[in-house]
Amino acid sequence: MRVSAVEERGAILIQVAISLLALTAMSAFVLDYGVMWTSRRQAQNAADAGALAGAIARAFDETVDPPTANGPAFQAASKAAAANHVWQTPPAVDVSWGCPSFVTGGRCVRVDVYQDGTNGSSYLPTYFAPLLGRSTQGTRATATAQAAVANATDCLKPLAIQDKWTENNPTAKVWTASDTFERYETQGKNKGNLFSPADAYAPPTASNPGTGFTVAVDYGTYMELHPGGGGSSVAPGDWELVRLPDGAGGWANGGSTIDDALANCTGHAVGIGDYLPVEKGAKSGPVGSGIQKLINLDLAATWSGGKITNSCAPGICADGKFHALSPRVAAIALYDPDKFQNSVADNNPQFSSYCPNGAGATNMCVQVTNIIGFFVESVDKNENVYGYLYNYPGMLKPGSSTVGTGSSFSTFIQLVR
């Protein structure tokens, strides 16, 4: 049957209308859906940035738990998240401190980011979706970061000081910087015997702070670190010069090595529980030189109001390298004064249970019980080093012991969700 031309007129309009509908739907899917997914990635980046910034602030700027309302951690998290725009618009940001149920140790920062019309946020734009009856779209994201407990560092300085003990000799009292650790007789016929009464030390563990330094009590404490007495007399701040791992199974030693390790990082990890040999021979020279080089890396930095000010960090410092934290914050090992003095008192510091794996090669060693940060304020001609207890960015070392949150001055930052 033959259809006339008159009967076919207008058929193309139907096809065009159907095509336009299909193209509109496809454009809405490609463009508007693309806006949503691009914005979703931007929102997640904002949440991640905010959570990490807040966790860093919890580790180094605000040690109280939970952080204060509108304090340094809150400000760092909210500002970092808001600075990462979602489709060219600052998102709405909510900051809280809860950890997911599967995370232990606390000190979390949760950041929720909104660009969906809720919590004071705006909607994402739509271009073709209104033609299909959809006028709004939005996105949101969440991230949680933790200032987690670290148990090691690859930037330990070759100085170790004794951890805090309980002062019982001659009478029980609060520990102060004028005390000395007196647990074992170190001379005469009673050498090696316990004093009565005797000072006592208990190292921190994952569940108990022992008698050692804690963040709540000792963060920001001003201390003088001075050349130690070789174990016979242990006073707060006495430093022992120790050898650090050389990365080849041995121990680095010598004046130039000490100088370099004080001013820089060795890159070889030392963890809690490790034993370090005490350096033999004269201690003068390298310590003062190395500490001064460390100070020169951030010469304008000062301690004010419980924090470091006027620092070159975060940024490029005098060594031409980027530093997230002032290079004048040194990682210092705390050691067990009980074991150290006992080894001297027994006149047998090399016995294998105390100095294993060659750590007794120099006839004396210390056991690391914790790692602290120490902001170096100054050093004098007698190699007395002055500064403040501080936190330090650490790492996890498999097999090393771990201390609890309250004892941990060394932290690492991780996204946990």
Residues of the chain with pLDDT under 50: 349-352
The neighbour count for residue 142, using CB atoms within 10 Å, is: 16
pTM of the entire predicted model: 0.83
Question: Residues near 295 by Cβ (< 8 Å), separated by ≥ 6?
Answer: 328, 376, 378, 379
| Separation CA 364–CA 277 (nearest Å) | 6
Residues 186, 341 contacting (CB under 8 angstroms): yes
Angle at 267 (CA atoms; ends 266, 273), nearest 5 degrees: 90
Question: Residues near 61 by Cβ (< 8 Å), separated by ≥ 6?
Answer: 72, 73, 76, 307
- Helix pair 33-60, 72-83: axis angle to 10 deg: 160
The neighbour count for residue 161, using CB atoms within 10 Å, is: 25
| Separation CA 241–CA 218 (nearest Å) | 23
- pLDDT given for residue 34 in this prediction: 80
Q: 177 in helix, strand or coil?
A: coil
Residues 409, 55 contacting (CB under 8 angstroms): no
Residues 296, 174 contacting (CB under 8 angstroms): no
Residues 129, 391 contacting (CB under 8 angstroms): no
Strands 329-335 and 365-379: what pairing? antiparallel
Question: Residues near 322 by Cβ (< 8 Å), separated by ≥ 6?
Answer: 314, 315, 316
pLDDT tens readout for residues 179-215 = 888 888 877 777 778 888 999 999 999 999 999 999 9
Share of the chain above pLDDT 90, in %: 59
Q: What sign has the CA pseudo-torsion 126, 130, 136, 141?
A: negative
Domain boundaries, the chain: 10-149, 152-410
